[in-house]
């Protein structure tokens, strides 16, 4: 019991010594400051009532809401490239020309084949009509017992053969006409024109390069991207845990790295239903090889700056709720 009381007294003495040391140190610092003529800084602020805001923060890229990725539809060498990256184009403007010699030759061959099939059809029609007239004459003579039944059968067989020949010729005409339409379509695709008005935001080819047609495993030669920049959106990469709280129409505050110190307002227009793929073209440079699951959220920028460009980095705060 006596030992416990002794230990308690020692602890009290230690505490008292620590408190005294702190007070002396504080007084010494105050005295030093006063001797130097410096007042201790004091920060003040007015007490205000503010709402509690819930938000989801995500990174993304600026993209045009309306854009077209142009790919080669025919194979050949680019012989004329009329635009550069950053050029403004109108709908229907000439963009580039792919060598059309082969396509023109195919179209000329198909045209000649069609003319030949039309001649064959006309000949087959004339033969069929003559066979019908011969058959009617033989049938009349057969009914009058002037010709034999064998001759009547030969005339009947001849008219049937002529009919089948004419139908076959007619089918060949339709087939060659379809072939001509296909070759003319291929010829027209050697000339590439702007499908929309906008800006050439990406140019992936040069004059002299050879284009290839896309297949199941090969997307083919990508020519360029035309973006209509009057309406732009922020394409965001949102973590799966935050996605359920994001709804269409929610207000969003956007900061774009290219415009430091400025904040832009936006509205959520689309919330993805499936995870973002690693090769997503909207988010190039942001998608990773990790196992993180993210969903794509699109936010319309309400008042974008005039010089905004696709690919600008953006950070967004999606306001998911407020409470007074």
Task: Return the CATH number at 291.
Answer: 2.40.30.170
Print the domain residue range for 264: 56-66+228-323
Asked if the structure places residue 62 within a domain, the reply is: yes
Asked if 163 and 241 sit in the same domain, the reply is: no
Local mean pLDDT, 10-residue blocks, the chain (324 residues): 44 43 46 50 65 89 93 94 95 96 95 96 96 94 90 94 96 96 95 95 94 79 92 94 94 95 95 87 72 90 91 94 80
Closest to 209 (Cα-Cα) out of 97, 103, 69: 97
Closest to 231 (Cα-Cα) out of 62, 61, 60: 62
pLDDT score recorded for residue 40: 58
pLDDT score recorded for residue 268: 96
Asked if the structure places residue 250 within a domain, the reply is: yes
Closest to 281 (Cα-Cα) out of 246, 313, 235, 238: 235
Asked if 109 and 175 sit in the same domain, the reply is: yes
Among 160, 189, 218, the domain-final residue is 189
Asked if 62 and 120 sit in the same domain, the reply is: no
Asked if the structure places residue 252 within a domain, the reply is: yes
Q: Please give the DSSP secondary-structure letter assigned to residue 40.
A: P
Among 189, 218, 250, the domain-final residue is 189
d(CA 306, CA 18): 65
Asked if 172 and 233 sit in the same domain, the reply is: no
Asked if the structure places residue 93 within a domain, the reply is: no
pLDDT score recorded for residue 196: 95
Among 161, 189, 217, the domain-final residue is 189
Asked if 165 and 242 sit in the same domain, the reply is: no
Asked if the structure places residue 73 within a domain, the reply is: no
Tokens representing 113? 């084949």
Q: Please give the DSSP secondary-structure letter assigned to residue 276.
A: P
d(CA 307, CA 288): 29
Asked if the structure places residue 196 within a domain, the reply is: no
pLDDT score recorded for residue 136: 94
Q: How many domains does the chain have?
A: 2
Burial 283-297 (b: 16+ CB within 10 A, else e): beebbeeeeeebbbb
Asked if 244 and 312 sit in the same domain, the reply is: yes
Asked if the structure places residue 136 within a domain, the reply is: yes
Asked if the structure places residue 31 within a domain, the reply is: no
């Amino acid at each position: 019991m006596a030992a416990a009381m002794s230990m308690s007294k020692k602890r009290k003495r230690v505490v008292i010594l620590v408190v005294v040391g702190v007070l002396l140190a504080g007084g010494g610092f105050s005295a030093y400051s006063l001797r130097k003529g410096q007042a201790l800084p004091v920060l003040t602020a007015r007490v205000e009532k503010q709402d509690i805001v819930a938000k989801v923060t995500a990174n993304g890229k600026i993209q045009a809401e309306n854009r077209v990725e142009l790919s080669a539809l025919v194979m050949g060498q680019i012989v004329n490239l009329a635009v550069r990256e950053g050029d403004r184009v109108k709908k229907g403007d000439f963009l580039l020309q792919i060598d059309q010699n082969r396509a023109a030759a195919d179209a000329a061959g198909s045209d000649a084949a069609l003319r030949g099939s039309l001649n064959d059809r006309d000949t087959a029609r004339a033969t069929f009509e003559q066979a019908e007239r011969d058959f009617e004459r033989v049938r009349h003579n057969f009914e009058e017992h002037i010709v034999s039944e064998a001759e009547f059968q030969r005339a009947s067989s001849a008219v049937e053969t002529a009919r089948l020949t004419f139908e076959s010729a007619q089918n060949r005409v339709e087939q060659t006409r379809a072939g001509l339409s296909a070759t003319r379509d291929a010829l027209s695709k050697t000339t590439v024109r702007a499908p929309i008005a906008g800006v050439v935001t990406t140019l992936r080819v040069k004059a002299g390069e050879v284009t290839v047609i896309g297949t199941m495993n090969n997307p083919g030669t990508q020519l360029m991207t035309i973006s209509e920049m009057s309406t732009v959106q922020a394409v965001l990469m949102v973590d799966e845990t935050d996605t359920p709280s994001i709804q269409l129409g929610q207000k969003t505050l956007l900061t774009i790295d290219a415009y430091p110190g400025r904040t832009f307002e936006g509205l959520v227009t689309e919330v993805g239903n499936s995870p973002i793929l690693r090769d997503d073209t909207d988010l190039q440079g942001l998608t990773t090889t990790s196992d993180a699951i993210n969903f794509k959220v699109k936010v319309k920028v309400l008042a974008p700056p005039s010089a905004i460009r696709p690919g600008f980095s953006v950070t967004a705060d999606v306001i998911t709720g407020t409470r007074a």
